[in-house]
Amino acid sequence: MAVEIERKFLVMNDDWRVAATDATHIVQGYLVSSPELTIRARVRGDKAFLTIKGATIGISRPEYEYEIPVAEALAMLTDMAVSPVIEKVRHLVPVSGTTWEVDVFEGDNTGLIMAEVELADAEQRVELPTWAGKEVSGDPRFYNVFLAANPYRSWPEGGQD
């Protein structure tokens, strides 16, 4: 079984931009959304994917991802997405032997910038870059599926605690 293990952080400043090596536009929408199961269609650059994720336990969850034709993903986003789509630009940022993904959200989630790093196991230590702020790994408000239904712009004071 494939397992996704990741930690997520709010981004405090733009210092990450100096080391960013890539930027890809992403549009994604949710076909099924429950605490136990999420099915998402995503167009990332010139490729598309169908992703199935199970329930999150700690910072891990089962994940399966399959490449699909872009036209089919776009049709799913238009015809089947149960909530508004998420739009963001993902930047890859190397940090001490790991690759961080910094997502700059657009549309109704403009103003939110999050970084995540995927880990080999839940106990893996990772060096936090200076621009990584508050950890939000376990906060469901920062899951993309939540942001689709509850856009960041609608949060009181940007949802900061």
| Cα-only R_g, the chain | 15
Q: What number of CA atoms fall less than 13 Å from residue 14's CA on the CB side? A: 1
Task: Report the helix count and the strand count for the chain, using DSSP H and E.
Answer: 2, 9
Which member of 30, 66, 143, 152 is catalytic? Answer: 30
Tell me, yes or no, if 143 is annotated catalytic. no
Query: With the C-alpha atoms ordered 28, 47, 92, 19, is the resulting torsion angle positive or negative?
Result: negative
Tokens, residue 43 = 């167009």
Residues with Cβ within 8 Å of 55's Cβ and at least 6 positions away in sequence, in order, are 35, 36, 37, 61
135 in Cβ contact with 9 (< 8 Å): yes
Active-site amino acid positions: 30
